[in-house]
């Protein structure tokens, strides 16, 4: 059984069909990519998997369980974490606190617990340590106490990944993780994604940087105007004439 | 069931007038919100100042209504321009919450200024000025009687009394005996209190015509003759409707047919694109504030014509919130929606006031003397909440409209 | 110094110290030794408004929702306490048993009436919610005559005179001391807790329809609900005393630690009450602080910053918001309950929109999202308001403002407060939208040693994929 099995996913906004009859699978332990020109419906597909948008039709099965129609936070609790195309950090909190928020689903203390026990609990101490270790994992530990808004672009991306990892996912969705990065940062990002995969987290990503996609992906899906036009290993995609047409435009 | 048609028509008149006034306020909210996404909290105060100014021009300066209306519109348009330039324009690039808090601040400032410069209107609930005859009686009351300890000495010069007219037999007169303490209220027989109306009700007695309605369901009253319920159509209501609809029509033409109107619509759709197309967005916003404020001024004038009292610094608050509710109800950004929403709320409020008690007693036999009419505004607020929660894009708006 | 300015506990310490120094000394030394009686009242008001500020800060500051209806909680807490005290009062002696809404004339009053000269009517309020007619006006006299005509054995007639708590003239016999279950310290604290729970429940109820709203639509809906509450309080006189409110007096105000609020022991009572309020303030502070630093507090901060990202991090946004409304409502109810004893007359005025906006002003002024901001805002603005209140009394100005001539008529109306608050909001948003003491994230980078400790530490919370 694949980790994520999506079948006949569809979404309409008014009369516009953003995604149509899109079926795909993400195998456990793989790095899978979703590519396509701007406006192809990639982010919409991501939003549907993570529950931010409710699909018009189709089904989304994660470890055999239906995710469609579930609340965003419950999908996260199932073990699906994500980052956002336009980086959504908690800007006015420290870098460390951003990650601690990500730990939310792994912690237990509730309303009464907080009132009765106060902040000096074992759980809070462990949460701090764990947050620091996630930061270390993405290489941001020295910036732990800075305000999140003070980070550079590439660092912000990595912080978002750390926050997503903190929720302990088995599937991590990355929405254009390399966008706006310089070549050096991109190289580090590739390393990080591999490290995450090697640790046992399945990675599903949207990316425009073809070099990166071809380098790390095992399976690639190509969307164009809401329709799937190709799927396969990087080598096959590179030579697929539909894909070339979609990216370069159809010669008249 | 016999229906008192005269009463019904009177309620209908009130509803139409109330709706007209809300509509003129609501267009200001809807245009401003449509363009800069700001609930202009101070808009109700522009309406209040419109009413104040019109009373001042009409009563104190003895000007003709045909001069009072354009003059008050001009003054309020200037006020609208002032609000935008001084308060809102510097905040175009900050958060919407900051702009909203500024709007609340401007509302407090305008209320405060008006309260300070119009002490005569200070917190009087119904009537604009009041003189209490027989203050000595109040003093005498406060003097010790046999076996009684004096509780309070009334110092009538300290502050003006506040009157409470809610009871049929007594008038409650409140003074603040010592600054900072709660006012002390004495209930005097109605005869001991003389209340003078502030506004000469010049238009009050003018009547367009009497319309008579026979209610044949009561043949046995007074020697078998059918009871006759007389309904008089008041001139002031007619004046309110004609003015309001003329203004709304003019505004519609302005927005649809003129160049600046086109620019306003363009800005409401997309400010960035509009500015790229050569529209001076800031000027359009300022103009929108001016037009909306002028409309609010007309609403203020019409209110003072229709009601003739209750003109004080806080009068803009409820109508302001209800007019905003009307704008949301109709679909924010739509002029027609504002008119529709305002009419619906005007009808809701007037008919609630007219018929809520009747309905209560018809449906609940044991209701006793329970009075539901004060809840008419609460009913309007409830409508607003239900609309915002379940249909934030309003009756005429489209789904998916911005609601954050 | 900078660190100290950012430390909430330091600010709390400072204020508690100030309140203890300025506040009443033990009664042996006289009430309000330094600040005077008026000063003690001012300090009480400031402390209670600090509790309100802390409560509202949970919704506005932590969760980032502009709530314009907090006055509902303040008023409901006060009404629960005041009505609880008054309704459960067991009358003693010759007080009237009339329910609110009608007026029974007893033999005693008829005799009283016969002796009295006909003058303006004065309706006397009784703690058990009955009303004495002390001397007559036409309506009452007519009723009395009808009563006389019916003969002395007829049932006491019920008049449909609306109840008003008017000028209280203690004519006639004073009733003996009544008792009620909330009359002791423990009883009062229980009642206070009930007020908190009622308001917390109302907060949750009110929150349910607003869960999907943010920004200005949330603000206007809370405003609308607050107006409905205000109109209801004004009109449901059977519970709230209507436009004239509920009056507490020496018989209904609970004893605190054995001190009777009546004149002889009044000093001790105020001293005890002052410290009850101070302890409540510290409680509200710890309550807020613990929530802020908890998992729930982090959820609120995340929701404030970005609701979608918060959801995607596994936070149940609706539940977190409802808990914020609950916590905020609870503090509002407790603060309102204390305010009821301080005011002794609880009216619908406590539920006015301006009351809500005052507390919003505290937070905006002090810095939204910080406890220290709420404390500082309440202290400075409420202090300013009380000072303006003094300035609105020409007699006080004449006696205390040295540069004015003895016959000066200058006074600043108390209502100038509205103008000043408005100006303050506008100027703050323009020049310092973050307030005086805004929240600050972060600090110095962690030391190498600290980093090493973190790297080596083991915790089950850290696991990427299968590994830890």
Question: What contacts B73, CB < 8 A, 6 or more positions away?
Answer: B50, B294, B297, B298
Mean pLDDT of all residues belonging to chain C: 77
Reading the block at residue C94, the tokens are: 């010759």
Strand partners, B232: B210
DSSP string covering B231-293: EEEEHHHHHHHHHHHHHHHHHHHHHHHSHHHHHHHHHHH-HHHHHHTT--HHHHHHHHHHHHH
Alpha helix positions (H), C151-256 = 185-210, 215-235, 237-240
Does residue A205 have a pLDDT over 90? yes
pLDDT of residue C284: 97
pLDDT of residue B122: 29
Q: In this complex, which chains have at least 3 CB pairs below 8 Å with chain A?
A: C
Strand partners, C262: none
Pick the CATH number of A4-248 from 3.40.50.300, 3.30.70.890, 3.40.50.920, 3.30.450.40: 3.40.50.300
Q: Which residue of A has its CA nearest to C283?
A: A115
pLDDT of residue A27: 93
Q: Look at B262-271, B366-375, C173-182 and tell me which has the smallest mean pLDDT.
A: C173-182
Q: Pick the most confident of B72-76, B114-118, B210-214.
A: B72-76
Q: Which residue of A has its CA nearest to C286?
A: A115
Q: Stretch C214-236: mean pLDDT, rounded?
A: 91
Domains of chain B, each with CATH number or no CATH: 5-120+233-390 (1.10.3470), 131-194 (no CATH)
**Nearest partner of B313 among A187, A118, C418, A114, judged by Cα:** C418
Does residue B28 have a pLDDT over 70? yes
A167 vs C168: which has the higher pLDDT: A167
CA of C249 vs chain A CAs: smallest distance (Å): 35
How large is the ipTM?
Answer: 0.93
Reading the block at residue A73, the tokens are: 């936070």
Does residue C182 have a pLDDT over 90? no
Cβ pair C137:B189 closer than 8 A: yes
Cβ pair B141:C364 closer than 8 A: no
pLDDT 10s digits, B87-109 = 999 998 888 888 999 999 999 99
Residue C394 and residue C410: Cα distance in Å, rounded?
6
Q: Choose the mutation target among C204, C329, C446, C465 for the interface with A, i.e. most A CBs under 10 Å.
A: C465
Does residue B221 have a pLDDT over 50? no
Q: Look at B186-200, C270-284, C381-395, C430-444 and tell me which has the smallest mean pLDDT.
A: B186-200
- Using a CB-CB cut-off of 8 Å, the residues of chain C touching B109 are 419, 422-423, 426
Q: Is residue C413 very low, low, confident or very high in pLDDT (cuts 50, 70, 90)? A: low
pLDDT 10s digits, A65-114 = 999 989 999 999 999 999 999 999 999 899 999 999 999 999 988 999 99
Alpha helix positions (H), B307-403 = 317-330, 335-363, 376-390
**Domain boundary assignment for chain A:** 4-248
DSSP A217: -
Q: Look at A194-203, B352-361, C422-431 and tell me which has the smallest mean pLDDT.
A: B352-361
Global confidence as pTM: 0.83
Q: Stretch C209-230: mean pLDDT, rounded?
A: 91
Does residue C173 have a pLDDT over 60? no
**Nearest partner of B372 among B350, B352, B386, judged by Cα:** B352
Residue A90 and residue A104: Cα distance in Å, rounded?
14
Cβ pair C167:B186 closer than 8 A: yes
Does residue C293 have a pLDDT over 90? yes
Q: Stretch A43-62: mean pLDDT, rounded?
A: 93
Q: How many residues does chain B have?
A: 404
Strand A31-35 versus strand A219-224 pairing type: parallel
Mean pLDDT of all residues belonging to chain B: 75
Nearest CB to C295 within list A104, A118, A170: A104
Reading the block at residue B300, the tokens are: 């203020």
DSSP string covering C355-387: HHHHHHHHHHHH-TT-HHHHHHHHHHHHHHHHH
Q: Is residue B175 very low, low, confident or very high in pLDDT (cuts 50, 70, 90)? A: low
Residue C314 and residue A157: Cα distance in Å, rounded?
19
- Using a CB-CB cut-off of 8 Å, the residues of chain C touching B172 are 164, 166
- Using a CB-CB cut-off of 8 Å, the residues of chain A touching C455 are 132-133, 136, 141
pLDDT of residue C299: 96
Does residue B143 have a pLDDT over 80? no
Strand partners, A147: A94
Does residue C363 have a pLDDT over 70? yes
Residue B122 and residue B126: Cα distance in Å, rounded?
11
**Domain boundary assignment for chain C:** 2-88+184-431, 91-178
CB C195 within 8 A of CB C334: yes
Residue A14 and residue A19: Cα distance in Å, rounded?
13
Q: Look at B80-84, B161-165, B350-354, C22-26 and tell me which has the smallest mean pLDDT.
A: B161-165
Q: Stretch C348-376: mean pLDDT, rounded?
A: 90
Q: Stretch A171-185: mean pLDDT, rounded?
A: 91
Helices (H) and strands (E) in chain C, counts: 18, 6
Q: Does C3 touch chain A (CB under 8 A)?
A: no
Neighbours of A191 (CB within 10 A): 12
pLDDT of residue C242: 73
pLDDT 10s digits, C51-107 = 999 999 999 999 999 999 999 999 999 999 999 988 877 654 433 333 323 344 444
The pLDDT > 70 percentage for chain C reads 71
CA distances from B366 to B213, C241, C396 (A): 32, 21, 53
CB C442 within 8 A of CB A114: no
A59 — phi, psi (to 5°)?
-135, 150
């Amino acid at each position: 059984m694949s980790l994520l099995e999506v079948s006949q996913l569809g979404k309409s906004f008014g009369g516009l069909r953003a995604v149509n009859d899109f079926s795909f699978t993400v195998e456990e332990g793989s790095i899978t990519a979703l590519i396509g020109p701007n406006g192809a419906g990639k982010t919409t597909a991501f939003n549907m998997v993570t529950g931010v948008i409710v699909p018009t039709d189709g089904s989304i099965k994660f470890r055999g369980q239906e995710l469609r129609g579930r609340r965003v936070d419950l999908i996260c609790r199932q073990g699906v974490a994500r980052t956002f195309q336009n980086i959504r950090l908690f800007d006015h909190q420290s870098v460390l606190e951003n990650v601690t928020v990500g730990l939310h689903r792994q912690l237990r203390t509730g309303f009464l617990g907080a009132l009765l026990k106060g902040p000096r609990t074992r759980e809070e101490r462990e949460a701090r340590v764990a947050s620091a270790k996630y930061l270390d994992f993405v290489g941001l530990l020295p910036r732990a106490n800075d305000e999140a808004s003070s980070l550079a672009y590439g660092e912000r991306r990595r912080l978002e990944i750390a926050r997503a990892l903190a929720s302990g996912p088995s599937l991590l969705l990355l929405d254009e993780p390399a966008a706006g990065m310089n070549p050096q940062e991109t190289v580090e990002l590739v390393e990080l994604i591999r490290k995450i995969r090697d640790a046992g987290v399945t990675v599903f990503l949207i990316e425009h940087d073809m070099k990166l996609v071809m380098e790390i992906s095992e399976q690639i899906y190509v969307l164009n105007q809401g329709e799937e036009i190709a799927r396969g290993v990087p080598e096959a995609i590179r030579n697929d004439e539909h894909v070339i047409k979609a990216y370069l435009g159809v010669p008249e | 069931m016999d229906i008192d048609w005269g009463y019904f028509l009177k309620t209908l008149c009130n509803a139409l007038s109330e709706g007209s006034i809300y509509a003129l306020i609501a267009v200001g909210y809807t245009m401003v919100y449509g363009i800069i996404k700001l609930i202009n909290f101070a808009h109700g105060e522009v309406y209040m100042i419109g009413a104040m100014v019109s009373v001042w021009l009409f009563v104190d300066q003895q000007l003709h209504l045909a001069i009072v209306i354009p003059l008050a519109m001009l003054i309020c348009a200037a006020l609208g321009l002032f609000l935008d330039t001084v308060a809102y324009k510097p905040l175009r690039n900050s958060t919407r919450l900051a702009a909203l808090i500024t709007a609340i601040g401007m509302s407090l400032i305008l209320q405060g200024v008006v309260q300070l410069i119009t002490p005569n209107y200070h917190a009087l609930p119904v009537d604009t000025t009041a003189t209490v005859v027989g203050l000595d009686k109040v003093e005498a009351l406060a003097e010790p009687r046999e076996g009684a300890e004096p509780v309070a000495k009334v110092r009538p010069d300290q502050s003006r009394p506040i009157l409470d007219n809610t009871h049929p037999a007594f008038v409650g007169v409140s003074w603040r005996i010592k600054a900072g303490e709660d006012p002390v209220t004495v209930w005097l027989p109605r005869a001991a209190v003389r209340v003078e109306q502030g506004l000469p009700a010049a238009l009050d007695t003018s009547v367009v015509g009497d319309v008579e309605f026979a209610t044949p369901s009561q043949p046995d009253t007074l020697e078998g003759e059918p009871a006759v319920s007389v309904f008089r159509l008041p001139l002031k209501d007619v004046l309110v409707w004609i003015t309001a609809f003329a203004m709304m029509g003019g505004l519609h033409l302005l927005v649809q047919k003129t160049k600046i109107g086109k620019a306003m619509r363009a800005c409401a759709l997309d400010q960035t694109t509009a500015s790229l197309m050569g529209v001076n967005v800031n000027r359009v916003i300022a103009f929108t504030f001016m037009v909306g404020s002028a409309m609010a001024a007309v609403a203020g004038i019409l209110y003072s014509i229709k009601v003739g009292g209750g003109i004080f610094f806080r009068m803009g608050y409820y109508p302001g919130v209800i007019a905003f509710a009307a704008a949301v109800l109709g679909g924010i950004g739509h002029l027609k929606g504002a008119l529709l929403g305002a009419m619906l709320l005007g009808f809701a409020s007037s008919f609630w006031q007219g018929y809520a008690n009747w309905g209560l007693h018809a449906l609940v036999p044991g209701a006793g003397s329970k009075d539901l009419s004060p809840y008419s505004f609460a009913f309007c607020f409830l409508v607003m909440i239900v609309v915002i929660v379940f249909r934030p894009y309003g009756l005429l708006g489209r789904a998916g409209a911005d609601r954050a | 110094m900078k660190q100290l300015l950012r430390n909430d506990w330091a600010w709390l310490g400072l204020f508690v110290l100030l309140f203890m120094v300025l506040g009443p000394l033990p009664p042996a030394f006289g009430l309000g030794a330094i600040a005077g009686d008026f000063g003690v009242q001012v300090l009480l008001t400031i402390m209670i408004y600090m509790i309100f500020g802390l409560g509202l800060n949970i919704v506005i500051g932590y969760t980032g929702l502009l709530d314009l209806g907090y006055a509902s909680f303040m008023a409901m807490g006060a009404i629960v306490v005041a009505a609880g005290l008054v309704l459960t009062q067991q009358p003693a002696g010759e007080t009237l048993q009339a329910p609110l809404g009608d007026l029974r004339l007893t033999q005693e009053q008829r005799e009283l009436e016969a002796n009295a000269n006909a003058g303006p009517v004065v309706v006397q309020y009784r703690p058990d919610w009955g009303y004495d007619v002390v001397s007559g006006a036409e309506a009452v006299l007519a009723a009395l005559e009808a009563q006389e005509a019916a003969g002395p054995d007829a049932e006491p007639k019920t008049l449909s005179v609306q109840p008003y708590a008017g000028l209280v003239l203690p004519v006639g016999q004073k009733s003996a001391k009544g008792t009620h279950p909330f009359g002791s310290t423990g009883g009062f604290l229980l009642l206070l807790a009930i007020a908190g729970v009622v308001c917390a429940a109302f907060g949750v109820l009110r929150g349910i329809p607003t869960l999907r709203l943010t920004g200005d639509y949330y603000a206007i809906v809370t405003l609308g609900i607050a107006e409905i509450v205000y109109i209801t309080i004004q009109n449901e006189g059977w519970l709230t005393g209507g436009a004239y409110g509920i009056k507490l007096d020496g018989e209904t105000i609970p004893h605190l630690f054995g001190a009777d609020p009546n004149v002889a022991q009044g000093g001790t009572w105020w001293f005890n009450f002052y410290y009850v309020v101070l302890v409540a303030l510290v409680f509200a502070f710890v309550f807020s602080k613990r929530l802020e630093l908890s998992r729930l507090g982090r959820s609120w901060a995340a929701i404030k910053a970005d609701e979608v990202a918060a959801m995607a991090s596994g936070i149940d946004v609706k539940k977190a918001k409802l808990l914020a409304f609950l916590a905020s409502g609870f503090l509002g109810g407790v603060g309102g309950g204390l305010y009821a004893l301080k005011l002794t007359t609880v009216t619908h005025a406590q539920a006015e929109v301006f009351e809500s906006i005052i507390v919003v002003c505290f937070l905006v002024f002090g810095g939204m999202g910080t406890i220290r901001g709420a404390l500082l805002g309440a202290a400075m603005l409420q202090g300013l308001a009380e000072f303006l209140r003094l300035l609105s009394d020409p007699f006080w100005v004449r006696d205390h403002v040295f540069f004015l001539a003895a016959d000066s008529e200058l006074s600043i109306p108390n209502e100038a407060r509205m103008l000043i608050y408005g100006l303050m909001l506008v100027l703050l948003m323009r020049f310092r939208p973050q307030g005086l003491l805004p929240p600050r994230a972060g600090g110095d980078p962690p030391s190498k040693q600290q980093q090493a400790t973190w790297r080596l530490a083991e915790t089950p919370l850290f696991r990427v994929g299968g590994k830890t």
